[in-house]
Structure formats: structure tokens, C-alpha cells
Amino acid sequence: MVLFGVLVLFQTFSLPGQFAHMAQESPQDAYLRWPATVVAVFWVLCVQVVIVATWKLLSLVKSDRIFTEASLKWVDAIVWAIAAAWLVLVGVFLYVGFNADDPGLPLLLFLLTVGVSVLGLLMVVMRALLRQATTLRTDMEAVI
């Protein structure tokens, strides 16, 4: 809960303020202020979706309802949030990659893209395992 609150503060105050400061310090890059703010706030929103969905999944574990259809919608929310963040990250990577003078930032963005890809694929596998376990549990309950 504290992390979520910190992220809301970060989204509303820190990120816009940071990009405004950067625009003042580097007027030649001031045109990037609002696109960078929107992208950063969107990424934080994706993290917030993952936090809320994980929180709901943990509450389903606590109430022993994790192997139900209700849990799949929260896993789907995580998968879609990661997919949305990945899509925007690829766009940023391509934009920076085609406009960069130095290979450092494009390489960092490439590594981040690979990391988010791995995380997304891991969540797809976990979702398939949860679906399989839910089906098995439903079948076992039907037998008993």
C-alpha cells in the first residue's frame, strides 16, 4: 500500500517536475518534456496495475480461492499491463535508437526491452499453469 502511494506521488509531482526542470536546463530538448512525462507516467501506471493485481491475487491465496476463474482476470491484468509497457518501451527504443549519437542509451533500452519481454513471457507461462491447475482442481471437485 505504501509503495502504491509513493508511486502516485511520483506520478503526479516528481516526474512532471523532473521533466520540467530538464526542459529548463536543456532548452534544445524541451520539446521532449511532455512526451517523456506521458511515457514515464504511463509506465508507473503499468506498475501500479501489476501491484493491485498482485495484491488481489495474494488475497485470493489467503482465502484459498486462487484456483478459480476469478484469479485469471487478475493475471490477465498483469499480462496486459506488461504488454502495454513493453509496447511503449519498444516505441521509445526505436525512437531513441534512430536518433541517438551514442550507443549507450539504445543499448540500455534494448536490455530493458529484453528484460520486460522475459517477464511478460514468464507471466504468460504462469497464467497457463494457473489455468491448468484451476481446471484440475475443478475436475477433482466434480469427482468428489
pLDDT given for residue 118 in this prediction: 98
Question: Pick from 47, 18, 45: which is nearest to 34 by CA?
Answer: 18
User: How far out from the chain centre does Cα 132 lie?
Assistant: 24
Decide if pLDDT at 144 tops 80. Answer: no
Task: Identify whether the C-beta of residue 48 lies closer than 8 Å to the C-beta of residue 82.
Answer: no
pTM of the model: 0.90
Residues in the chain: 144
What percent of the chain has pLDDT above 70? Answer: 100
- Express each pLDDT in 49-101 by its tens digit: 999 999 999 999 999 999 998 999 999 999 999 999 999 999 999 999 999 99
Matching residue, cell 516528481: 14
